[in-house]
Structure formats: C-alpha cells, structure tokens
Amino acid sequence: MPDDRKSLGRHGEFSAVSFLQAGGFKILETNFRTKTAEIDIIAKDHETLCFIEVKTRRSIKKGLPRESVTPAKQNKIIMGASFYLKKNRLLESKIRFDVMEVFEKAGCFEFNLIKNAFLTE
C-alpha cells in the first residue's frame, strides 16, 4: 500500500506540473530538497515566486488534501524556501506559498490550486 501512495503522489505531482504550465506558470524546480525540507514545485507566476506543496488524494475520507499541510509542514516549507531564496540570491523576490490539491478519479486528475494557502510574517 505505501508504494501505491507514493506512486499516486508522483503521478499527482507530474500532472500538477502540466496543469501549472498550461496556466502560464514557469516551472523552476521540482522536488527541491534541503536537509530538513522538500518543496514539491518552485515556479514563477508572472513576477511572483511560488513554493507549491502538492497533495494528491483519491478520496476525502481522511479530510481535504490541504488539511494535511499542517503548521509543522508549513514551517518546513518556509525554511526550505528561505534556503532556496538565499542560495539563489532572490531575497528581494515577491513570494507566495500555494497548495495544489490533486484528486484522482478513475485515472483522471482534478486540480484545485489554493494561492496564498499560508502566509508568513
């Protein structure tokens, strides 16, 4: 079962990239990793640098995908984003944290992009 979940997640992320590109996003990185964090997708939406967490589900039995992006997960994403911004000398960039909900139904994907899903101070 865990392999099935990983496979579903990989397919969801791959499909999310295509969905975002079709919507005009420029994908900069996927699966960006630091020692403490992973960011699924880093993309530009016009002049805004977006750090996007992708959550894929087949059902909402365990809640909406966005609900699994807990404050602890948000903090890890923020730390990863901070590292990325410093590493690439982009500290002055306009940034945003999004969550992409991906629902798989009978082999088809539906997407719900939540812009500014969580904010930083």
CATH number at residue 10: 3.40.1350.10
The closest alpha carbon to 85, from 119, 35, 115, 51, belongs to 51
Strand residue runs (E) in 4-93: 26-33, 38-45, 48-57
Sheet holding 94-105, edge to edge: 26-33, 38-45, 48-57, 94-105, 108-114
In a domain, 85, yes or no: yes
Query: Containing domain of residue 53, as a range?
Result: 2-114
In a domain, 49, yes or no: yes
pLDDT at residue 11 in the model: 82
Residue 42 has pLDDT above 70, yes or no: yes
Q: Is 45 helix (H, G, I), strand (E, B) or coil?
A: strand
In a domain, 88, yes or no: yes
Average pLDDT over residues 10-39: 94
pLDDT at residue 120 in the model: 65
pLDDT at residue 119 in the model: 76
The count of domains in the chain is 1
In a domain, 121, yes or no: no
Residue 35 has pLDDT above 70, yes or no: yes
Q: Provide the pLDDT confidence category of residue 1 given band limits of 50, 70 and 90.
A: very low
- Side chain identity at residue 15, one-letter code: S
In a domain, 119, yes or no: no
pLDDT at residue 41 in the model: 97
In a domain, 70, yes or no: yes
Per-residue model confidence as pLDDT tens digits over 69-86: 999 999 999 999 999 999
In a domain, 91, yes or no: yes
What are the phi and psi torsion angles at 98 (to 5°)?
-115, 155
pLDDT at residue 61 in the model: 85
